[in-house]
């Protein structure tokens, strides 16, 4: 059994390497066809540029600052989204009051919200606000859905036996909520990276990945532009992977 598990892991790694090599090859072919580095630089030139960035202290300071903005926005959206989502799921009037706001937020282009936020907040706070605002509807909607999917027979039984409200929440509502909140957090974290970097590009705060993207574009430094783009993609994938593993390992209510 142990040998089989090791073999499966080796096959997964090999599969991942082959898929990566394939797409790097496609990238290189596109580079050769276009023939202009300013549009599509060589994959190897971009990797060299990324290697140079990683070796500098400033790179890690920039990544850290952007990570903090994203995580603050996600945590605020999680706390408020779950709180208001539980209330809205239990009260139809509150749901009717908040649902139009969620529809408006989801329907409004991100760029419009960023431009408005530039008027309201400082450049460093704009990415935090955008991360919060884009993630809040996802977490709120999933929380409401989790509350609405609670088994009504269990609630009726708890009412008949006069179970304490705290126990009703912990033993009935929370197991129903947990899978929806876990999915919402994973989705929200991936989205937060994208919208936060977009906000950084426009707000241009100090020590931000988005600011580096804008600077690279302004100086027509395509290899560095692509290198920072790879950083955003890799960080997003790493955070989603780590969060998914933590959820799978620590969640007491796994399905």
**For residue range 160-189, what is the model confidence (pLDDT) as tens digits?**
666 666 766 666 667 777 777 777 788 888
CA nearest neighbour of 114 among 103, 136, 130, 125: 130
Whether the predicted pLDDT of 3 surpasses 80? no
pLDDT tens digits for 74-96? 889 888 888 888 888 878 888 88
Per-residue pLDDT band for 153 (boundaries 50, 70, 90) equals low
Six-digit token string for 248:
């799978």
Kindly tell me if the per-residue pLDDT of 34 is higher than 70: yes
Query: The whole model's pTM is what?
Result: 0.77
Domain of residue 13 covers 1-35
Residue 114: CATH number of its domain: 1.10.3720.10
Query: Do 230 and 145 share a structural domain?
Result: yes
Position 116 in a domain = yes
- Over residues 128-144, the mean pLDDT reads 87
- pLDDT score at 48: 86
Q: Are residues 99 and 152 in the same domain?
A: yes
Please tell me whether residues 132 and 7 are part of one structural domain: no
DSSP string across 165-212 = HHHHIIIIIHHHHHHHHHHHHHHHHHHHHHHHHHHHHHH--SS-HHHH
| 245 and 160 in a common domain | yes
Amino acid 208: pLDDT: 85
Report which of 34, 45, 2, 62 is spatially closest to residue 231, judged by C-alpha positions. 62
* Count of structural domains, the chain: 2
Mean pLDDT, the chain, whole residue set:
80
Residue found by looking up tokens 């304490």 in the block = 164
Q: Residue 211: which residues within 8 A CB-CB, separation 6 or more?
A: 62, 200, 201, 204, 205
**Dihedral, CA atoms, 44, 45, 51, 56, nearest 10 degrees?**
180
């Amino acid at each position: 059994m142990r040998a089989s598990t090791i073999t499966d892991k080796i096959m997964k790694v090999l599969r991942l390497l082959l898929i990566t090599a394939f797409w790097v090859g496609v990238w290189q072919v596109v580079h050769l066809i276009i023939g202009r580095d300013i549009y599509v630089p060589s994959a190897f030139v971009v990797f060299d540029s990324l290697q140079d960035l990683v070796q500098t202290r400033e790179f890690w300071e920039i990544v850290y600052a952007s990570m903090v903005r994203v995580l603050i926005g996600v945590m605020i959206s999680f706390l408020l989204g779950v709180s208001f989502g539980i209330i809205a799921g239990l009260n139809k009037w509150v749901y009717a009051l908040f649902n139009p706001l969620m529809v408006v937020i989801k329907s409004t282009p991100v760029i419009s919200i960023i431009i408005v936020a530039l008027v309201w907040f400082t450049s460093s706070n704009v990415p935090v606000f955008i991360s919060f605002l884009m993630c809040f509807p996802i977490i709120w909607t999933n929380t409401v859905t989790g509350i609405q999917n609670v088994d009504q027979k269990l609630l009726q039984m708890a009412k008949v036996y006069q179970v304490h409200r705290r126990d009703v929440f912990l033993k009935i509502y929370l197991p129903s909520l947990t899978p929806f909140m876990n999915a919402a957090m994973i989705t929200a974290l991936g989205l937060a990276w994208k919208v936060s970097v977009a906000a950084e590009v426009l707000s241009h705060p100090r020590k931000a990945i988005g600011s580096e993207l804008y600077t690279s574009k302004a100086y027509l430094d395509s290899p560095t532009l692509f290198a920072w783009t790879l950083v955003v993609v890799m960080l997003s994938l790493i955070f989603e992977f780590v969060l998914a593993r933590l959820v799978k390992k620590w969640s007491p209510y796994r399905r």
